Structure 1
Amino acid sequence: MKSYLDRITIQPAQLDGKPCIRGLRISVQTVLEFLSVGNTAEEVIEQYPLLTKEDITACLQYAAKISGKEISYQIV
């Protein structure tokens, strides 16, 4: 699989700049919230058919990466 960076996009005009999947209006946060309450990747994909298992994996990789770093955001 390519890097999660190829799948996670951040655009200030989309969903208030939240990280999204492949430019879709599906946020990483949404996917992680589904997973955190026990939904499987397959169940998330049923709810959002445009997603793939690779997208779900990219969300998890992104979350793992940022959880170990201090991040600062600039409000524009």
Structure 2
Amino acid sequence: MEYIADRITINEKVCNGKPTIRGKRITVQTILEFLGAGETIEEILHQYPSLEKEDITACIQFASQLMNRSYIIKSVA
């Protein structure tokens, strides 16, 4: 298991290798989708009592770090 940002883990055997929170079966993508849908941090913590506020902050930081990379759009036939 590889730790990223102290709270984000990637393990090919958990959630098909998607980044998760502290090895739990809760993906960063799930948390970001809840935030994008307008859920508050408090609402997410209520739905996932095993999470901490710092876990959600780590998800946001992780997504922000991904935006620091350069991307190239390629045409697919």
Same fold judged by TM-score > 0.5? yes
Q: Larger C-alpha radius of gyration, 1 or 2? A: 2
Structure 2, unaligned runs of 5 or more: 72-77
TM-score (norm 2): 0.83
How many corresponding residue pairs?
A: 68
Matches within 5 A, 1:29-40: 29-40=29-40
Q: 4+ runs of 1 displaced by more than 2 Å?
A: none
Q: CA deviation at 1:68?
A: 2.1
Give the Cα–Cα distance (whole angstroms) in 1 for the partners of residues 63 and 36 of structure 2.
Answer: 12
Q: Quote the Cα distance in structure 2 between the aligned partners of 1:70 and 1:30.
A: 24
Counterpart-to-counterpart distance in 2, 1:56 and 1:24: 13
Q: Percent identity?
A: 54
Secondary structure at the aligned position of 2:69 is classed as coil
Alignment of 1:48-59 (within 5 A): 48-59=48-59
Partner of 1:63: 63
Whole-Å separation in 2 of the counterparts to 1:19 and 1:43 = 21
Q: TM-score, normalised by structure 1?
A: 0.84
- Aligned mates of 2:65, 2:6 — CA distance in 1: 14
More helix by share: 1
Counterpart in 1 of 2:24?
A: 24
Q: Greater relative contact order (Cα 8 A, min sep 6): structure 1 or 2?
A: 1
